[in-house]
Structure formats: structure tokens, C-alpha cells
Amino acid sequence: MKTFEQIAELEKRYLLGTYNRYPIVLTRGKGVFLYDLEDRRYLDFVAGLGVNALGHAHPRIVKTIREQAGKLIHVSNLYYHEYQGALAEKLCTLAGSSFGGSSMGTSRAFFSNSGTEAIEGSIKLARLAGHRSGGEAKCRLVALRGSYHGRTFGALSLTGQEKHRKGFEPLLEEVTFVAQNDIEGLRAAVNDNTCAIVLEPIFGEGGIHECSVEFLQGCRAAADRHRAALIFDEIQCGLGRTGTMFAFQSFGVTPDMVAIAKPIAAGLPLGAFLAKEEFASAISPGQHGTTFGGGPLACRVALEFLAIMEEEKLLNNVNKVGAYLQQELKVVVAKSAAAKEVRGRGFIQGINLAIPARPIVDEALAEGVLFNSTQDTVLRFLPPYLLEEKHVDKGIRVLKKLLRKKRKAA
Ligand SMILES: Cc1ncc(COP(=O)(O)O)c(C=O)c1O
């Protein structure tokens, strides 16, 4: 087997320099644990940045992949296969009656390969619907400062952070940014030329900041008043992470479209957006599509993922263990001057530190724990839905130890 140095050197020579990786090579996983080249074990609070909701090597997922790979991995979207419609029906049903539900056929899905593509598709659909109801001028988008929606040009144009946009301009010009939870600013930004308001109910990469219910209600009202689409980007916070299947169900405000991705196919690339029929009906064959999106392997695995979520009652676990995680993080804040605030809910939480977070992540590796940092000072927790209280205890023990060490060194 190659050594760490050989693997890292090869990447350094041949890969585009886009990633600043941690110095470990992961070789396998089981449940909430990952293992490196030397078979050292790591407790996983990152879950592939929110992807591995069922942890690693879940037996039912492994079995489903094996079975389906032996039958049919890919077919073109020129043809039918048995899983895409079934998955769309399941997701639309889970989105619930406020979203249209599936039995009345009042909401529809489109499958992509990634989160950013789900966002692209949703704003393309919003443009079509906008043009249909308000002519060419109804093309403007409203998004939030501090948000993150992905790296393609459309998604990047909606991303309200200079550090991601810099160097790639010009981006879409028709985007107006408002501050999160600024209801007056939002009202002023939305008008009859707005085709969509796009937001994450909980900023993920942006540092775990929640939109207030009042703000989301204000967005809903503004979108209704001006016949714009309200689009929720639930790519990071959706599909169970907040303790409900869709994050909008946790906030009690229903969007017109919702973009999802990360955990949906248990690690296989799959994204989707769902749209209410009044927007979905704006698109015709040939106006959007993808080669890979919604293939039989990914869709069948996604159906299995959703079945496991239900049968293993994982939402209950997210709520229970998420509340415990929050309680324990709050104890850390109460006891350590280096920790300032806990934000988020369920299995999308962050602790804002008074010191840089990356060194904590680096040092946690030696303690056998994978943490993640974002926005310089935030430790972000996106664990697998299988996490138990004893795992939280281990993570908190390590966090406390590292914060104590930093205080002594200061
Ligand atoms: C809220 C949000 N939107 C969009 C994306 C982009 O998704 P992807 O990386 O799958 O393209 C991400 C990825 O982290 C995200 O967190």
C-alpha cells in the first residue's frame, strides 16, 4: 500500500490546487467511525460535510448498491427506469400537503448530480415562471448576505460572500442582497421584477446562523405579493438534519421550491429540487436536463436511505441526541472563555469560538475526532444521524481538553 507521503505527493503534482486537506488518508468507515492508513480510528462529526447521514458502510446501503450495480447503474434520461418517479413521489409526499403533496400531483421533482446544480435548476425554473407571468423583466433574484449556494456561476451569483465571488466576476447582475433577518431590507428589495427569493433557512458554510421565523414569514409574504418563487436551499440543513424531514417543516414556512442534495443517496452524487406545480408547469421538454442526474443506482439508493430513515426512526435520534449535543456545547460556552455561543439545532450546530477554530480541528485529529471549522472561528457539527450520546461525550471531552490547552498556551 502507498504511504501517506506518496499519496499526498501525487495529488500535489497532478491535482488542481483547490483543496487544503488535512494530513490523513481515510481508507474505510463503519458507522460513526472512519479509519486511516494505519487503521487509526476517528469519531466522525463531519459526515462528509453532511453527506454520510447513515454513517459509513451501512449494511442496507451496501447491499442495495451491490444489487443495483449488478443490474443497471446508468441509463440516459431518454428512457424510463423504475426508481426516478418513485423517488420523486416519495420526496413530494414527505414535503407534505402544504407543499402540494404527491397524491394530487401538485409538486414535482428534478434530479441533478449535486447541490449547486439543484440551485441552478431551481433558478432557471424561477426565471421561466417569472417570464411567463411578468415578461422578460421579471428576472431578478434576491439572496442573503453571508449565504452559500455553491460554485457554479448561477449559484455563486447568489452566494453573498466576497471570498467566494472574488476573481470570478462578472457574475449574474440581477441579484440583490439583503442581510439575514432584515425584514425591512427584504421588503425593499423585492418588487414585481423579482422572480425568486433564494435563502438557506440555516446558513451552513456561513457559520450556522438561523433565519428567524418572522423573517421567513416576511419572505413568504413578499414572494406572494410579487408572485415570486420562494426557494429554500436545504442542501445542508435539509433531509433530517434539523429534526424534521425538510428544514422548512421545522420553521413552519413553506417555500415554492426546495433544493436538497448531500445525504439523499447516502454518499452517491445526487441532488434534487422540488417545485410546486404552479412553477413546475413553466418548463417544457428540452429546456433543462442532465446526463447523469437521477440514474437508477442513485435513485434506488435514495429510496433505501429514506426507508432506513423511517424504519430506524432516525429523526427521533437527531432530535434527542441533537438536544444533548446542544446542552453539552452550552456547558462548554458557560465554562470556557474561548467559547462564545452555540447556534443551530439537531445535527446542524456550531459553536462560535473567541479563537481560530482550525487549530482545534487540526489537534482533534491526534485525539481521534474529526471536527470541521468554517468562517474562521466556528466549529461546525454535522454528524451522522446514528450518533449516540456517548459519542457526543467523547467529542465534548476532546473539545474541552483542546480549549484548556489553548488557554494555558495563551
Ligand atoms: C447550502 C448549500 N448550498 C449549496 C451547496 C453546494 O452543493 P454541492 O457542493 O453539492 O454542489 C452546499 C454545499 O456545501 C451548501 O451547503
pLDDT tens digits, 29-57: 999 999 999 999 999 999 999 999 999 99
Report which ligand 1 atom has the smallest distance to the Cα of 234: 1
Report which ligand 1 atom has the smallest distance to the Cα of 271: 10
pLDDT of residue 102: 53
Q: What is the pLDDT averaged over residues 303-308?
A: 98
Taking 60 as the threshold, does the pLDDT of residue 253 lie above it? yes
| Closest Cα to atom 3 of ligand 1 | 149
Q: What's the pTM? A: 0.98
CB of 223 closer than 8 Å to CB of 230: yes
Residues, the chain, total?
A: 410
Task: Mention the CATH class of domain 72-311.
Answer: alpha beta
Site of grid cell 431518454: 78
Query: Which residue from 122, 149, 151, 374 has its CB within 8 A of the most atoms of ligand 1, so it is best to mutate?
Result: 149
**For residue 13, what is the enclosing H or E element?**
helix 4-14
Could you tell me the distance, in angstroms and rounded to a whole number, from the CA of residue 266 to the centre of ligand 1?
Answer: 15
Residue partners of 291: CB distance under 8 A and separation at least 6: 76, 77
Report which ligand 1 atom has the smallest distance to the Cα of 147: 1
Query: CA–CA distance from 41 to each of 25, 27, 350, 354, 370 (Å)?
Result: 12, 11, 23, 29, 10
Report which ligand 1 atom has the smallest distance to the Cα of 150: 6
Dist. CA 317–CA 48, nearest whole Å: 19
| Closest Cα to atom 9 of ligand 1 | 115
Taking 90 as the threshold, does the pLDDT of residue 212 lie above it? yes
Query: Helix, strand, or coil here: 36?
Result: strand
**Band of residue 157 on the pLDDT scale cut at 50, 70, 90:** very high
Q: Which three cell numbers stand for residue 294?
A: 437521477
Residue partners of 62: CB distance under 8 A and separation at least 6: none
| Closest Cα to atom 4 of ligand 1 | 149
Q: What is the pLDDT averaged over residues 55-70?
A: 98
Pick the CATH number of 4-57+313-409 from 3.60.20.10, 3.40.50.880, 3.30.70.260, 3.90.1150.10: 3.90.1150.10
Taking 50 as the threshold, does the pLDDT of residue 156 lie above it? yes
pLDDT of residue 105: 53
| Closest Cα to atom 8 of ligand 1 | 115
pLDDT of residue 99: 81
∠ CA 276-244-57, nearest 5°, is: 105
Query: Which residue from 236, 237, 382 has its CB within 8 A of the most atoms of ligand 1, so it is best to mutate?
Result: 236
Could you tell me the distance, in angstroms and rounded to a whole number, from the CA of residue 406 to the centre of ligand 1?
Answer: 32
pLDDT of residue 1: 86
Q: What is the pLDDT averaged over residues 128-153?
A: 98
Could you tell me the distance, in angstroms and rounded to a whole number, from the CA of residue 115 to the centre of ligand 1?
Answer: 5
pLDDT of residue 103: 47
Could you tell me the distance, in angstroms and rounded to a whole number, from the CA of residue 265 to the centre of ligand 1?
Answer: 15
Taking 60 as the threshold, does the pLDDT of residue 104 lie above it? no
**pLDDT tens per residue, range 338-381:** 999 999 999 999 999 999 999 999 999 999 999 999 999 999 99
Q: Which three cell numbers stand for residue 348?
A: 446542524
Residue partners of 159: CB distance under 8 A and separation at least 6: 143, 147, 148, 149, 150, 165
Could you tell me the distance, in angstroms and rounded to a whole number, from the CA of residue 214 to the centre of ligand 1?
Answer: 25
Beta pairing class for 202-203 and 209-210: antiparallel
Dist. CA 13–CA 362, nearest whole Å: 24
Dist. CA 141–CA 120, nearest whole Å: 12
Could you tell me the distance, in angstroms and rounded to a whole number, from the CA of residue 155 to the centre of ligand 1?
Answer: 9
CB of 350 closer than 8 Å to CB of 342: yes
pLDDT of residue 97: 82
- C-beta atoms surrounding 366 within 10 Å: 10
Query: CA–CA distance from 243 to each of 179, 185, 240, 315, 320 (Å)?
Result: 26, 30, 5, 5, 9
Ligand 1 neighbours (beta carbon < 6 A): 49, 114-116, 119, 148-150, 200, 204-205, 233, 235-236, 261
CB of 394 closer than 8 Å to CB of 358: no
Could you tell me the distance, in angstroms and rounded to a whole number, from the CA of residue 49 to the centre of ligand 1?
Answer: 9
**Band of residue 410 on the pLDDT scale cut at 50, 70, 90:** confident
**Which residue stretches of 273-388 are H helix?**
277-280, 296-311, 314-335, 358-366
CB of 181 closer than 8 Å to CB of 233: no
Closest CA to 266 of 35, 105, 51: 51
Q: What is the pLDDT averaged over residues 97-116?
A: 82
Could you tell me the distance, in angstroms and rounded to a whole number, from the CA of residue 405 to the centre of ligand 1?
Answer: 34
Asked if the domains 4-57+313-409 and 72-311 are classified in one and the same CATH topology, the answer is: no
**Phi and psi dihedrals of 166, rounded to 5?**
-55, 130
Domain boundaries of the chain, sorted by first residue: 4-57+313-409, 72-311
Average pLDDT, the chain: 97
Could you tell me the distance, in angstroms and rounded to a whole number, from the CA of residue 1 to the centre of ligand 1?
Answer: 33
Could you tell me the distance, in angstroms and rounded to a whole number, from the CA of residue 116 to the centre of ligand 1?
Answer: 6
Q: What is the pLDDT averaged over residues 189-204?
A: 98
Query: Which residue from 49, 211, 235, 372 has its CB within 8 A of the most atoms of ligand 1, so it is best to mutate?
Result: 235
**Band of residue 409 on the pLDDT scale cut at 50, 70, 90:** confident
Query: Which residue from 116, 200, 211, 290 has its CB within 8 A of the most atoms of ligand 1, so it is best to mutate?
Result: 116
pLDDT of residue 96: 87
Dist. CA 5–CA 178, nearest whole Å: 46
pLDDT of residue 101: 62
Report which ligand 1 atom has the smallest distance to the Cα of 269: 10
